[in-house]
Structure 1
Amino acid sequence: MREAQSLVADTLAATVDELCLKFGVRKTAFALFLAVWRHQQTVNHTSQLSNRMRQDIGLPDGEETSGFPVWNFRAW
């Protein structure tokens, strides 16, 4: 296992360049977009839970926000 860990990995820029050369810029950019979008979907958010539910799982009470959160795209 140590031998596998001691291998030097390419830099991010070199890896992206290699992917762009192999698959093209459009496919690479689209795959990156899909990966970010899927990761965003898998993150658990506790901000939408009620205070009672937050207390039940051991979290502190959330602040009551007034107004409409513009950055919450899922609300649209």
Structure 2
Amino acid sequence: MRDTQSAVANALTATVDELCQQFGVWKTAHALARAAWRRRQMTNQVSHLSNRMRRDVGLPENDDAPGQIRSFLWDVRI
């Protein structure tokens, strides 16, 4: 397994080196940062939603919701 990891690391290093030679270090770093940022934005997080908003979208309520005290006034059940 160690040999496999080494081969993958060497291939990745060679690919990054090739990209840096072809496009430059700053453009490669900028493209990597943008790709990481886009990937981060693609995953939707619901942990910050209040229980009212979780109910609105059909999710179960969270007992330890971070904004539970602030959203107490808005948690009106009909």
Q: TM-score, structure 1 length as denominator?
A: 0.57
Superimposed CA distance per residue, residues 11-69 of structure 1 (whole angstroms, 9 cap, x where no aligned partner): 21111011001111010000001111111111100112222444523x46252337xxx
How many residues align? The count is 57
Q: Detail structure 1 runs of 4+ shifted over 4 Å in the superposition.
A: none
Point out where structure 2 has 5 or more consecutive residues left out of the alignment.
Answer: 1-7, 68-78
Distance in 2 of aligned mates of 1:17 and 1:62: 49
Aligned pair 1:28/2:28, yes or no? yes
Which residue number corresponds to residue 73 of structure 1?
Answer: none
Which of these two proteins has the greater Rg computed from alpha carbons? Answer: 2
Counterpart of 1:11 in 2: which secondary structure?
helix
Where do residues 1-76 of structure 1 align in structure 2 (5 Å cutoff)?
11-54=11-54, 56-57=58-59, 59=60, 61-65=62-66
TM-score of the aligned structures, taking structure 2 as reference length: 0.56
Q: Which has the higher contact order (CA 8 A, sep 6+)?
A: 2
Contact 1:47 / 1:62 at 8 angstroms: preserved in 2?
Answer: no
Shift of the 64–15 alpha-carbon distance from structure 1 to 2, 3 Å rule, reads same
Where in structure 1 are there 5+ consecutive unaligned residues?
1-8, 67-76
CA RMSD of aligned residues (A): 2.4
Percent identity between the two aligned chains? 49
